[in-house]
Structure 1
């Protein structure tokens, strides 16, 4: 890997650290050639510490190492993106990230939808909210709706109307997310269960 360490007078390049699973950015550090070589050799992320003025393996004191998965360079060959598996919190403050955010998976729109469902449940306005109304009727009604939507999806799967099939798929996923929250879970709990079965 050819990196241009000459663009900065100190011979350092930024190294962005990203969780390999969640894709969250955990921290930003700096590397020189020796730090990069050490990282590649040990498979544990090593930086050049500007405050200590020496090589510094992340986790050398805390034990919260960053296990290297992959390294990419940017189009100008002067910035690195390292994907890692963190062994504990990344920030020295004890936070998962240096932005004081939890390092949990974010599924984009699906996560927003889960948050909307949670908000409707908490507001409990059964006059205007279909979701709040379902929660008010209880777990049996919610589970029944999931079953109904699953049957409708199976029926549409046997036909050739793609629009109806996708609509029923959306209905099933929506009601499944409601059921998860009714049981006190979220989608990441299901994903973790699937990961535990990975061989």
Structure 2
């Protein structure tokens, strides 16, 4: 890895810090060659502090260190993407990120879909919403619907119509997300179990 520390004539390169698990961006710092080497040697992310004019290991006072997972260099050789496992909040203000965001796992559209399901579950309008009406019928009906959709996925998997197979798969996933919420869970609870099994 050949990092161009002299591109900006100050010996520093930006270092974007990303949570290795959630993929959220936690902060932005700057590294010189010495900070980069110390980060590699200690496995704790160390920056060059422009305000303190010295090396600064994140969490050296608070204990909220950033455990190094990986370092990638961009195509121009002048910006680092550093993935970490953070210990505690990253920002000095006490928030998870320097943008005051919660460092929660996000599955993109699936997380959005979970929010929609939760909204329809909590803001009960059974006459206006399919989701609300299914929740109104109780967990047995939701579980039955998941079973029906699972059978339809199996049937379509044995045929050659990919469009039908994918549509039935979407129906199964949607109703499974509903069943999880009916039981008080979300998809991340299932993912955490899969992560434990990977070890």
Q: TM-score, normalised by structure 2?
A: 0.95
State how 1:188-199 maps to structure 2 within 5 Å.
188-199=188-199
1:42-95 Cα offsets, whole Å, 9 max, x none, are 111100111211101112122222111111111221111111111221111221
- Secondary structure of residue in 1 paired with 2:77: coil
Separation (CA, whole Å) in 2 of partners of 1:148 and 1:74: 48
1:82-109 Cα offsets, whole Å, 9 max, x none, are 1111122111122111111111111111
Name the counterpart of 2:182: 182
RMSD: 1.2
1:11-39 Cα offsets, whole Å, 9 max, x none, are 21110001111111000001111100111
Separation (CA, whole Å) in 2 of partners of 1:48 and 1:165: 54
State how 1:1-199 maps to structure 2 within 5 Å.
1-199=1-199
- Secondary structure of residue in 1 paired with 2:198: coil
Structure 1: runs of 5 or more not aligned: none
1:131-179 Cα offsets, whole Å, 9 max, x none, are 0101111111111111111111112222222111111111110000011
Separation (CA, whole Å) in 2 of partners of 1:148 and 1:75: 49
Q: TM-score, normalised by structure 1?
A: 0.95
Structure 2: runs of 5 or more not aligned: none
Separation (CA, whole Å) in 2 of partners of 1:187 and 1:179: 10
Separation (CA, whole Å) in 1 of partners of 2:23 and 2:151: 35
Separation (CA, whole Å) in 1 of partners of 2:115 and 2:157: 29
- Secondary structure of residue in 1 paired with 2:16: strand
Equivalent pairs, count: 199
Runs of 4+ in 1 over 4 A off after TM superposition: none
